[in-house]
Amino acid sequence: MKLSLDKKHEDFRDEVRTFLKENLPAELAEAGRLNTSSFSEPQHNLPWLKILNEKGWAAPHWPKEYGGTGWDEMQKYIFASECARAGTPSLSPMGLQMVGPCIMGYGTEEQKAFYLPRILAGEDYWCQGYSEPGSGSDLASLQMKAVSDGDDYILNGSKIWTTQAHHANRMFCLVRTSSDGKPQQGITFLLLDMKTPGIRVEPIITIAGEHEVNQVFFDDVRVPKSGRLGEEDDGWTVAKYLLEFERGGGSSAGLEAALERVLVMAHAEPAGGGTQLASDPAFARRYADTKIALESIVITEKRVTAALASGGNPGPASSMLKTARTETLQRIDELALEAAGLYGNVSQMAARQPGANIEPVGPAHSLTAMPRYLNNRAATIYGGSNEVQRNVMAKLLLRL
């Protein structure tokens, strides 16, 4: 979105641009550009987090007292937008956007003092243990048991689709501490150490050939009760709070950068010759529709970010945002694949595998078109499927 900035924000944008120019190493920018998953691998996002943290810019959306920047909404937008343009590696949202705000909201003073600085410094890398085989959309049906034993809980069961669990040293998870009452009752929210004996992480390879998600098995895993966030049997309250940050947090700056890349691709020489895709009226119409959808997301996003930043509850707006963003993301991926043409074929994916001795062909941006398209099919499923988000909107907005 073209912004007309006042002097303060223009100066801020220039400051961010200069910082990125001077501090974003070329190899991290390259890794950010080639990333095709929902966020980068820790080998790339942790060094970038360290650089940001040294500058005090790791968590723009956190309150200042916990290490936030104190920026206004426009500054946060400008920062996200400049990072997306520069191709910075995308930071893991699990600590900064998800469990961090929950620890601020529900943690004890000891938990805040211990965990929050470790998230900023990248000393802790978190994963989310919500879903189980058979409990995804109907999350409250989860069965992983936590039995009280003195100062500990003993965990048995399994979590699935756990993104980057193979890299994480900590997990925030939901466990069942009681089977009495409604399914939502009897759930407890725990913070645990992934190195605890009895935890086993098994990979699940995605359709794009990548190892991003896992199944995690728990066999008599002893977790101290000091790792509980909120009250026993009241974890559902914390879980719902976190989901609003998961769905409402982040920004569409990455989508805007991706759509700009599509335009560059559409103006490129097509594989095998012929006219540029940009001159095709049908493509131009789909591009324009997508751009309009994206602009309306930016406006909703500002309202949600403002509500979250002022400690408010964005309510159904976070479901609207999650649905609109992920569906627009998929539209952009479709345009990118179309623009990559023959260069977007599946064999390009093989060239991206570590150690592959295959030279990719065609322009650099076409290399990521197919894996992004495949990976992002999951975007309308994770974080609560879009069908379920529509149920939330129907209930809360339309009162159906």
Ligand X SMILES: Cc1cc2nc3c(=O)[nH]c(=O)nc-3n(C[C@H](O)[C@H](O)[C@H](O)COP(=O)(O)OP(=O)(O)OC[C@H]3O[C@@H](n4cnc5c(N)ncnc54)[C@H](O)[C@@H]3O)c2cc1C
Out of 246, 256, 301, 338, the active site residue is 246
Query: Is 148 an interacting residue with respect to ligand X (CB under 6 A)?
Result: no
Dihedrals phi, psi of 247, to nearest 5 degrees: -85, -35
Q: Which residues contact 344 (CB under 8 A, 6 or more apart)?
A: 336, 337, 366, 369, 370, 373
* In contact, 262 and 334? CB cutoff 8 Å: no
Residue number with CB closer to ligand X (23 or 391)? 391
Q: At closest approach, how far in Å is the CB of 12 from ligand X? A: 33
Count of C-beta atoms within a 10 Å radius of residue 147: 13
Instruction: Return the structure tokens found at 79.
Output: 């920062």
* Residues in contact with ligand X, shown as a per-residue x/- string from 86 to 125 under the rule CB under 6 A: ----------------------------------------
* In contact, 210 and 370? CB cutoff 8 Å: no
Query: Is 371 an interacting residue with respect to ligand X (CB under 6 A)?
Result: no
Residue number with CB closer to ligand X (129 or 362)? 129
| 65 given a catalytic annotation | no
Q: Which residues contact 141 (CB under 8 A, 6 or more apart)?
A: 134, 135, 183
By CB under 6 A, the count of residues binding ligand X is: 19
Taking the C-alpha atoms of residue 326 and residue 332, their distance in angstroms, rounded to an integer, is 10
Figure out which of the listed residues 387, 395, 396, 397 binds ligand X, where binding follows CB under 6 A: 387
Report the number of secondary-structure helices (H) and strands (E) in the chain: 14, 8
Query: Is 384 an interacting residue with respect to ligand X (CB under 6 A)?
Result: yes
* Residues in contact with ligand X, shown as a per-residue x/- string from 169 to 208 under the rule CB under 6 A: ----------------------------------------
Q: At closest approach, how far in Å is the CB of 151 from ligand X? A: 26
Instruction: Return the structure tokens found at 361.
Output: 């062909």
Figure out which of the listed residues 156, 184, 185, 385 binds ligand X, where binding follows CB under 6 A: 385
Instruction: Return the structure tokens found at 381.
Output: 């499923």
* Helix orientation angle between 42-55 and 109-121, rounded to the nearest 10 degrees: 110
Residue number with CB closer to ligand X (75 or 326)? 326
Residue number with CB closer to ligand X (16 or 239)? 239
Figure out which of the listed residues 122, 136, 227, 254 binds ligand X, where binding follows CB under 6 A: 136
Residue number with CB closer to ligand X (131 or 305)? 131
Task: Give CA angle at 158 (39, 142), nearest 5°.
Answer: 95
Figure out which of the listed residues 111, 156, 276, 391 binds ligand X, where binding follows CB under 6 A: 391
Figure out which of the listed residues 161, 172, 236, 373 binds ligand X, where binding follows CB under 6 A: 161
Residue number with CB closer to ligand X (35 or 162)? 162
Taking the C-alpha atoms of residue 164 and residue 360, their distance in angstroms, rounded to an integer, is 27
Taking the C-alpha atoms of residue 105 and residue 373, their distance in angstroms, rounded to an integer, is 36
Catalytic residues: 246
Contact residues for ligand X, defined by CB under 6 A:
127-131, 136-137, 161-163, 213, 378, 381-382, 384-385, 387-388, 391
